[in-house]
């Protein structure tokens, strides 16, 4: 099923949902340590970035400096869609909320400061 590319449809149907838990970004040398289940990874020259539940990072003794809430946009967005990330960035910038966006094949995922999760949801809903 192809994703949506029309910005107006993406915004009106994005349906942001707050996932349960607190999430962190951390980095390891090359491989995911045994027992960890990251929700996202990014391989960089400095190492392998893991986005995972804070509890898992704490249990594994991993360091981090950013604790986030994870918001999923339920609309099925196409990877070639234009303007969705910009619209989200603008509304969150206006609200003073930082955001790290991870695009999956079907959905966009937003990691915002944990203590601003509800404020971020409210700001995002103004776009619908």
**Domain-embedded: residue 100:** yes
**Domain-embedded: residue 1:** no
**Domain-embedded: residue 94:** yes
Amino acid 102: pLDDT: 96
**Cβ neighbours of residue 6 under 8 Å, at least 6 residues apart?**
none
Full-model pTM: 0.94
Q: What is the mean pLDDT of the chain?
A: 95
Given pLDDT bands bounded at 50, 70 and 90, which one contains residue 128?
confident
- The CATH number of residue 53's host domain is 3.30.2130.10
H-helix segments, the chain: 7-12, 54-60, 84-94, 117-125
What is the number of structural domains in the chain?
1
**Domain-embedded: residue 63:** yes
**Domain-embedded: residue 114:** yes
Q: What are phi and psi of 8, to 5 degrees?
A: -60, -40
**Domain-embedded: residue 33:** yes
- Give, rounded to a whole angstrom, the gap between the first and last alpha carbons of the chain: 23
Kindly tell me if the per-residue pLDDT of 2 is higher than 90. no
Which structural domain, as residue segments, surrounds residue 54? 7-125
Over residues 97-114, the pLDDT tens digits come to 999 999 999 999 999 999
**Domain-embedded: residue 2:** no
Cα–Cα–Cα angle for 106, 113, 111, nearest 5°? 10
What would the mean pLDDT of 68-81 be, rounded to a whole number?
94
**Domain-embedded: residue 117:** yes
């Amino acid at each position: 099923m192809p994703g949506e590319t029309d910005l107006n449809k993406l915004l009106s149907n994005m349906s942001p949902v707050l996932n349960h838990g607190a999430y962190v970004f951390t980095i390891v040398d090359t491989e995911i340590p045994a027992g960890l289940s990251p929700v996202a990874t990014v391989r960089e020259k400095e190492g392998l970035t893991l986005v995972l539940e804070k509890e898992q990072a704490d249990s594994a003794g991993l360091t981090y400096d950013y604790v986030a809430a994870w918001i999923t946009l339920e609309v099925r967005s196409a990877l070639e869609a234009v303007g969705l990330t910009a619209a989200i960035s603008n509304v969150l910038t206006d609200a003073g909320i930082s955001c790290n966006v991870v695009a999956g094949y079907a959905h966009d995922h937003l990691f915002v400061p944990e203590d601003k999760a509800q404020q971020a949801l409210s700001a995002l809903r103004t776009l619908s």
